[in-house]
Structure 1
Amino acid sequence: MTLDEINRAAVDAALAWLPPKMSSPEARVEMLTICLKESLLKHRRQVTSSGKEDGPAVSFWQFERGGGIKGVLTHRSSSDLAHRFCDERGIDASPMDVWLAMQTDDVLGAVFARLLLWTEPGPLPRVTDIEAGWQLYLRAWRPGAYTRGTPQKRAELRAEWEGHHRVVRAYLRLP
């Protein structure tokens, strides 16, 4: 999958379905950067230390049943939209059923990614504010590789974020 393919096939559809106030260049930058950071658009299932795609997180945005999926389904600012979207897709709005569907439904992953960002207080970071985008990602996704990582590993992950952020902005032709 390419950045252009996921943007056109999933992010465009997700942002078109969600309320207009959720669609912005800032949202698109954050969603696409997270997508690259989490999966490199290669893995719809988390790659574990064994090198196999058998981890608990699914979709290009890497959602876990008891983490992001449950959070989006139950948070007061995202629950109604998440349930409505699931209903329209014929998906039972339970963490297990969403997790199963998300393994092949990229629009579902994109909707949940935007809704998870929506649960965070405050406006989205400006498209040029790499650090604020990184901090939002850390709060919303809580990546284990970062929280359990050494200072060197944390620096590597931050550098990866910056690289992905620049790629996304170049692709979208943003400053």
Structure 2
Amino acid sequence: MNQAEFLARIQRPAAQWALVHAGIQSSIEAHRFLLAVAGQESACTHRAQVPIDYAHGFWQFEKGGGVHGVMTHRTSAAKARALCEAASVRFEATAIWRAIEGHDGLAYGFARLLLLTDPYPIPVEQHAAWACYALRLWRPGKPHPQTWPVWWQGAGLTSSRA
């Protein structure tokens, strides 16, 4: 699906769910950043990593990486627990990792909480956003910097319209 469809059908409803159930606030900047990450990580299409099922959700969380980090970070742990309670998911890395594949609200909530663990403001410029994504938060094993500009620019056009 394209970024506009993803924002309307997946990300905005998931953000609303995370707000209602755990008080997780969002913003245009957060929507843009997370929309670009979903594009970069899953092409806004794959809920499980392709070709090897190692990461889950459109934001491609690994059990021992992002899931564990959000569960244990001082700024995100309590809200992560609230998300899990609302989704009826045991607060345990494997259970969360499995659930994220099919629960977009939980997946978005964990992605938004990961962004909240970053000590810097949400980036609004392409290069700063790449550094946040690639060097600080998601830290992909095989980064593809050549595709980031397309996802970032598309996310800016899409999120600013909604």
TM-score w.r.t. the length of structure 2 is 0.88
Say if 1:160 and 1:17 are closer, same or farther in 2 by CA, change over 3 A: farther
Identity percentage of aligned residues: 37
Runs of 4+ in 1 over 3 A off after TM superposition: 15-20
Q: Distance in 1 between matches of 2:146 and 2:21?
A: 33
Residue in structure 2 matched with residue 171 of structure 1 by the alignment: 158
Residue in structure 2 matched with residue 9 of structure 1 by the alignment: 13
Residue in structure 1 matched with residue 62 of structure 2 by the alignment: 64
* Secondary structure of the structure 2 residue equivalent to 1:135: helix
Give the alignment of 1:8-157 within 5 angstroms: 8-15=12-19, 17-19=21-23, 22-48=25-51, 54-126=52-124, 129-138=125-134, 139-146=136-143, 157=144
- For 1:140, the aligned partner's letter is L
Q: Distance in 2 between matches of 1:114 and 1:100?
A: 18
- Bigger relative contact order, structure 1 or 2 (CA pairs below 8 A, ≥6 apart): 2
Q: Distance in 2 between matches of 1:28 and 1:125?
A: 11
User: Are the counterparts in 1 of residues 11 and 108 from structure 2 also a CA contact under 8 Å?
Assistant: no
* Secondary structure of the structure 1 residue equivalent to 2:49: strand
* Aligned-pair CA distance for 1:112: 0.1
Higher-Rg member (1/2): 1
Aligned residues: 156
1:57-82 CA-to-partner distances (Å, cap 9, x unmatched) read 00000001110001100111100110
Say if 1:17 and 1:162 are closer, same or farther in 2 by CA, change over 3 A: farther
- 5+ residue gaps, structure 1: 49-53, 147-156
Q: Distance in 1 between matches of 2:98 and 2:11?
A: 22
* Aligned-pair CA distance for 1:17: 4.4
* RMSD (Å) for aligned C-alpha atoms: 1.7
TM-score w.r.t. the length of structure 1 is 0.82
- 5+ residue gaps, structure 2: none
Q: Distance in 1 between matches of 2:146 and 2:34?
A: 18
Say if 1:32 and 1:66 are closer, same or farther in 2 by CA, change over 3 A: same
Say if 1:16 and 1:24 are closer, same or farther in 2 by CA, change over 3 A: farther
- For 1:56, the aligned partner's letter is Y
* Secondary structure of the structure 2 residue equivalent to 1:173: helix
